[in-house]
Structure 1
Amino acid sequence: MPRSISGELQRAPQPKTKSGCLTCKRVKCDEAKPNCLRCSSTGRKCDGYQKSSPRSLFRDYQLPLYSLPGLVRSENDRETRSFQYFYERTVPSLAGYCGSAFWNRLVLQVSQHEKSVWHALVALGALHENFEKNEDGPATQLIRQTQDSFAIQEYVAAIRALLNVSDNLDFNPSTPAFTSSAMNLTVDVCLVSCILFVCFEILSGHYVSAINHIRSGMKILREAYYDPRSGTYRHPLLKPSTVTKLEMETLRSMFFRLQSQTLTLTRIETDKPLYNIIEQPSLVQIEIPECFSSIAEARDIFENYGCLCSHEYHIAVGKLSSAKAAHVSDYLIQKYTLIINKWTAALDRFEQSRGHNLTTKEQVGLKILRMYRLQTIITLASGQSENSNSFNWDQYNSLFEGIISLAASIAGTRFDTDSTFSTNLLEKGEGFYLKPSFTLDNGIIAPLYDTAVLCRDPIIRRKAVHILRSVSRQEGVFNSHVSAMAAEKVIAIEEAAASRLSSDYHDSILSLTTIVSDMNLEQQDHQITKSSDVPKNVRLTYAYPTVDTTKREFFLTIGQEEMRKRKMHIDIPFPAATAVVDIEFKSIQ
């Protein structure tokens, strides 16, 4: 029996539509193929069916391609095309390597009765099509100097529909969409719309606007509460939710992942996760099975324990004395080392049980999970990186190489082993992601950036940068091109400092400031051949891109352990990143 997109079984109406066979048209055809039973049982010749048009094909899947009230462009070819692109390309991309009921079902279901979601899907489909068809090369695929006017028009229509704003009223579409004017909306519709707006802003390169929408979604989650009597989530200003508790948990997980990414860019207190949001069912000790049943289960359990570890660690640091916090830190390292070992065993058994039956996406998912496993092992083994001796990273070069190998396999990059790695070491090969890629899942960018920054081996860290340079990937708020530029800057700073300072030079803060002020940093040739050529006192303890949401500018924030103790750091202006990722809607302001 056919199901509606909502997944609810419904009594099927007698099909007297135009989709019947040519003989039974406008009669109650059962639509069996190749010959309908009505014709066969009565001895008539069944003349078959008309060739399906794109719209009738969507109707077979019960997708929301119908004329919504007040939607004057619902029959427009461009709108139909953009929605089709969203369904066929954007949904699989955003669903990631694990798949997603949110993208495969929920968002399509909501679009059937919410104009704001419908317009947002069309806008995102149009923008994503342009993103994927950009063939200017990896260095420019993520730079969007102009916007698709149709995509912007649909995006503005989505926000107006959400807020019920009249067309003759002016408003700024880049500001958070959720205010007290949205009182006629349900909690889930607001959150679904917010996710779509975040996607549109990220794909447009508007990081500040995307961050504002993420914050708006988190604010809704903070203010919502579960009502066991009605089985719904309630909010002081919004109508109760209309989706299941499991679907609300899916939305919560998506926002937590986005907020975690946001924190890496802003580094401000207000973007730190709050673990008491609408009953955290995920923040419990989940039993790791002997063998995972799916890649999604492995990913979810890995992320759950990652949140638990971070939560427990920050509680220890914030509430305990230094001595007690250090003791708890050692305990947590031991605890989560055992957990990651058990998780790894379950993942290995899953891979063995599937054998050659793994799908392409599952193979990619396995490699990504193994990258994060290596990253976690390095962090745990180093004794919580922020308190570790920067020189200790050198003993994990083999693990960094493992991350490089997995990432290169995913990105379709191979290395010319006969090269001494100077300028052009990489060639593009066949791989899973050859076109620009956009997803909300965590992927290869974060582990590659950490490898480029923490590993001081000149070949390994440059391989990480070249992979980031050679792909065009947008993973949530993480941008491969921006990450590559930041990593290159870090490498240049450290190697320039290493070439100028002797190993017993102690005034590292002064020297670091001097090195950073050198405008010709990237043009200098520094003879670094191995990790130990970068002495401890010039190594950066931390280095990451940050965004000032007020100034709408990117910076590269760097520092060393002594600077951290003095609560000092250096913010290097990062105009190249600002130019790439935060071009505002000038055409409609």
Structure 2
Amino acid sequence: LVRRIKCDEARPSCQKCSSTGRKCDGYITTGESTPKRTQELSLNVYKSEEESSAIDFFLRVSIPQFTGNSPSEFWNRHVLQLAQQDVGTRHALVALAHLHRDFTNPQNESKHNQPALYHYDAAIRSHISSVSGEMQDILKSSSAMSTAIVFMCIEIMQGHLASAVSLLQRSVAILPRSRNQYVPLYEEFISRLKIHAQRLVDKNMFGSSPFDHASKEVVMKYRQPGDWRSSCKELLRDCSAIFGELSFEERIQRLCIMSGAPKIAHKNSPTSREAAAHNALHMRRLLEITNIFDEEAANTSDNERAALNDSLLPLYRITVSLAEANLGLANSDSQETTPLAPSFALDMGVIGPLYEVARRCRDPNLRRKIVHLLRMSNRHEGLLKSSTYANIVQTIIDIEEAGLTDVKSSSDIPLRSRISQHCLSFDLQRLKHTISYKPLIGDSKDFYHRDILT
């Protein structure tokens, strides 16, 4: 006979049970047993006023910026909890907080943040000590990979892309062999930076296409009943039967509606983060639709492909408008030259979608609007820097409009002036970005190369 004793419901554990060494079964597990706010984590481990101030900034400013449009378990909870136990992670977070505070303050022109350098050095020494043991222990360790991720952010924020990419390559090599419960958190972050590195540095650096993960993520994560991508392809095969005598632009607009573009269903107005997440998802859907058009037109003539691409202008305009809204620049003056306050995010954001539109769309007004938005946004998104991409888009414009006068629409850019197969690369030694491309028409097997001004 087991005697049942009523739980006294003392927190954090029942005194009647803990005093006798028993496991308390008196609590009913609920979803609220886990703290919901990062601020509820103890800050007692940050002893000095300097450390406490830095971490306070990290909680209030850094985490909301880093996580972008959706919550991140890694930043909101995991790395903060790890810092309670691991001194190396703690130093790394304090260093990152100091650097981010300087990064967001345009008036601070100091290139040497002494507190950040001190804590970063301490974090590196602790990290080296922790990884000097057996490989089996390293693979099981959550602190080694978490600290490496924070180190990548520190290097990116300092503009040390070569160091950040080197850390990323090592993390990519170790991650498949890691054996701890937090691997999915690391994969989410590492996969995103892999896409950035393949876009910016070398598309073959990890042995796969930079868009493999992105396409899979879009299709799988946002799949609607009936598979919206398959539905789009069916529509494309027989647009006339479905849309009757609608113009091609109207067909595209209808296609956007029928492709399952998400709606926000709220009794009340959505939060700014929910609206931004919706816009980001919608941008990615629209780009997927343009990818489908490209696939369908792969075997058509140069003239037909150019006409098809020019007809996608309504989709491109919507995509840019969504990016504009997420940047808070929807009502900005095109003549405005004062950029937004610097921001640093680790989600896919707007830089990638704006570049994708600019490299496909030849409309001179929309392209120049994209350049303006990229310059004004003053953003870092992982390895991507908006000002660098503004220069890349401007270079594409300069190449395709060279020698032309009075370009008012995409039809004013002839096929002989258009380029294709653009790819970007970044020389880690010269710290120089290069765009490589071929003419759209002609039999040239050689790529042309143009350095990007930074």
Given the two structures, how large is their TM-score scaled by the length of structure 1? 0.60
Counterpart in the other structure of 2:437: 558
Count residues with an aligned counterpart: 397
> Could you tell which deviates more after superposition, 185-194 or 469-478?
185-194
Determine which of 138, 142, 150 is the counterpart of 2:115: 150
The alignment yields a C-alpha RMSD, in angstroms, of 3.8
Superposition deviation, residue 397 in structure 1: 0.9
Residue of structure 2 equivalent to 1:265: 200
Contact persistence 1:449–1:465 (CA under 8 A): no
**Counterpart of 2:75?**
103
Change (3 A) 1:336 1:110: farther
d(CA) in 1 for partners of 2:417 and 2:209?
Answer: 36
* Counterpart residue number, 1:401: 317
SS in 2 for 1:98: coil
**Equivalent pair of 1:63/1:108 in contact (CA under 8 Å):** no
Cα pair 2:41 2:81 within 8 Å, conserved: no
Are 1:549 and 2:428 matched, yes or no?
yes
Match of 2:105 among 130, 133, 136: 133
Residue 565 of structure 1: CA displacement?
A: 6.7
Q: Which SS does the other structure have where 1:383 is aligned?
A: helix
What residue in structure 2 maps to residue 216 of structure 1?
A: 170
> How many percent of aligned residue pairs carry the same amino acid?
25
Residue 133 of structure 1 aligns to a residue in which SS?
coil
In structure 2, do the counterparts of structure 1 residues 553 and 180 end up closer, same or farther at CA, with 3 Å as the change threshold? farther
Partners of 2:64 and 2:232 lie apart in 1 by: 36
Per-residue CA deviation, residues 182-219 of structure 1 (Å, 9 max, x unaligned), is 76543422221121111111111111111111111110
On the 8 A contact 1:123/1:150 being kept in 2, the answer is yes
Give the counterpart of 1:63 among 38, 42, 48. Answer: 42
2:94 maps to what in 1?
122
SS at match of 1:555: strand
- Using a 3 Å threshold, how does the CA distance of structure 1 residues 109 and 343 change in structure 2: closer, same or farther? farther
Opposite residue 546 of structure 1, the aligned amino acid is: S
Distance 2:391 2:209 in 1: 31
Q: Report if aligned partners of 2:69, 2:277 keep a CA contact under 8 Å in 1.
A: yes
| CA deviation vs aligned residue, 1:393-429 (integer Å, no higher than 9, x gap) | 211111111112112222222468xxxxxxx734489
Q: 1:289 to 1:406 in 2, by over 3 A?
A: closer
Cα distance in 2 for residues equivalent to 1:343 and 1:441 = 27
d(CA) in 2 for partners of 1:403 and 1:283? 16
Deviation of the 1:290 alpha carbon: 6.0
Q: Is contact 2:361-2:367 (8 Å) kept?
A: yes
1:371 aligns with 2:283: yes
Shift of 1:559: 2.5
CA distance in structure 2 between the aligned counterparts of 1:286 and 1:84, rounded to whole angstroms: 34
- The amino acid that maps onto 2:118 is Q
The answer as to 2:155 corresponding to 1:249 is: no
| TM-score (norm: length of structure 2) | 0.76
| Secondary structure in structure 1 of the residue aligned to 2:262 | helix
Task: In structure 2, give the amino acid aligned to 1:256.
Answer: S
Question: Contact (CA 8 Å) 2:155, 2:161: kept in 1 or not?
Answer: yes
Which residue of the partner structure matches residue 11 of structure 1?
Answer: 13
CA separation of 1:254/1:272 partners in 2, compared to 1, >3 Å: closer, same or farther? Answer: farther
**Distance in 2 (alpha carbons) for counterparts of 1:443 and 1:435:** 16
Cα shift readout 1:37-73 (whole Å, capped 9, x = no counterpart): xxxxxxxxxxxxxxxxxxxxx998233431xxxxxxx
The residue number in structure 2 matching 1:413 is: 329
Shift of 1:157: 1.4
| Secondary structure of 1:89's aligned partner | helix
Deviation at residue 134 of structure 1 after TM alignment: 1.4
SS at match of 1:543: strand
- Say yes or no: does 1:334 pair with 2:233: yes
Q: Does 2:450 align with 1:538?
A: no
| Deviation, structure 1 residue 223 | 3.1
Residue equivalent to 2:260: 345
The alignment status of 1:487 with 2:393, answered yes or no, reads yes
For the residue of structure 2 that corresponds to 1:269, the secondary structure is coil
Structure 1 letter corresponding to 2:369: K
SS across alignment from 1:97: coil
Match of 1:472 in 2: 378
| 1:50 alignment counterpart | none
Trace 1:171-190 onto structure 2 (pairs within 5 A). 184-185=137-138, 186-190=140-144
The alpha carbon displacement at 1:13 in A equals 8.1
1:201 to 2:80 alignment = no
